[in-house]
Each structure stands twice: as structure tokens, then as C-alpha cells.
Amino acid sequence: MVRAIALVEPAVAAVLGVAVLGERLPAVSWCGLAVLALGIVFLTLPTGSRGRGR
């Protein structure tokens, strides 16, 4: 879970920069945020019991 929190920090900073400060992000930055979001989802998904020790 600690890895997921470390990934959330730069994403939140970028979104706050856009929302609060009116910054403009290029399309490649939005794509990077989407990749970060997918990584966070992947890291926080529960692991299945199948395949563990069986």
C-alpha cells in the first residue's frame, strides 16, 4: 500500500495545479496521469488465493 501512496502524491499535485492554479498540462501529461491511475488500481487490487501455495 505504501507504493500506491507514493504514486498518488505527484498525481494529486498535478491535478491541484490544474484545478487551483490554472496550469495547463500537455496531452502527454494527462496520459501519464492515466498510466499512474492504472498502476495504482493494479497495486491496490486484492490478490487471489488461487495459485498461492497450491
Q: Write out pLDDT tens, residues 1-54.
A: 667 788 788 899 999 999 999 999 999 999 999 998 898 888 888 877 555 555
Residue 11: name the closest of 38, 49, 48 by CA.
38
User: Rounded CA gap, 43 and 14, in Å?
Assistant: 20
pLDDT at residue number 45: 84
pLDDT at residue number 46: 84
pLDDT at residue number 41: 87
